[in-house]
Amino acid sequence: MRTDRLPEVTRADAGAVLIASRYVAEAAQQTTVAEATISVWEQAPPPPGFLHLSCFVSADGETVLAYSQWTSDEAHRTFMATAPPSSDPAAIDLAEPVRYRLYRSISDDSGNGTPGCLFTATFDVDGPERQRHITDHLIDAAGDIGPLPGALSSHFHLSIDGTRVLNYALWNSIEDHDRAVANSDLDEIYRISTETPGVRPTRGRAYHLHSSLTR
């Protein structure tokens, strides 16, 4: 079923998160790629183990992100071993995404605010210990900072190969996030991200939801 709902990131039955992205030459192509990706999966019955797929378009007009949830990594691999190739070259190839599992989440418990944008922060790291270290350190720092206006939740995903961390952070708006940056509210988060040994931050992006499929 197609929907405008964001993924339920903390759902208990999601044993695997598969993330893939595509760089596009211009903003006009974002809708084409996102729509093609959703349509490919919409046209066939959902395979065993499939739970959810969301496509996001970046606010800078450069990237489309596909975030999918499955009951397990094995369920996705089993399906892709027998699935025919996509008939639409515009669609993002989900055959070999980066494979993640959700590690820890923090959220604003006030119930106020509606997610208006997704911010991703990604890190290349030197192994599983560094994955857990940087995540735990950032969550501790966020607790010390306290609630920020417009910040709703952060969900830290660790790649199963031990090389990456992705923070899936929901905010009310891009303006709220930019205001926190301008007010230096995120300076300690930035310091930890850039000065932790064995951790290399890569470019983060702001996204808006294009469309989702949910089972």
Axis-axis angle for helices 128-145, 187-195 (nearest 10): 160
CA distances in angstroms from 156 to 34, 70, 159, 167, 172, listed in the order given: 24, 17, 10, 4, 18
Residue-wise pLDDT tens digits, 37-94: 999 999 888 999 999 999 999 999 999 999 999 999 999 999 998 887 776 889 998 8
Residue-wise pLDDT tens digits, 141-166: 999 998 999 999 999 999 999 999 99
pLDDT of amino acid 134: 98
Cα angle for residues 86, 89, 92 (degrees, 5° grid) = 75
pLDDT of amino acid 111: 60
Q: Is the per-residue pLDDT at 32 higher than 80? A: yes
**Do the domains at 2-99+208-214 and 101-206 have one common CATH topology?**
yes
Residue-wise pLDDT tens digits, 84-137: 777 688 999 888 899 999 999 999 866 667 899 999 999 999 999 999 999 999
Q: What percent of the chain has pLDDT over 90?
A: 83
Which fold is adopted by the domain 2-99+208-214?
Answer: Alpha-Beta Plaits (3.30.70)
The dihedral formed by the CA atoms of 189, 190, 195 and 201, expressed in degrees to the nearest 10: 110
For the chain, give every domain's residue range. Answer: 2-99+208-214, 101-206
Which fold is adopted by the domain 101-206?
Answer: Alpha-Beta Plaits (3.30.70)
Nearest alpha-carbon partner for 169 in 117, 97, 214, 112: 117
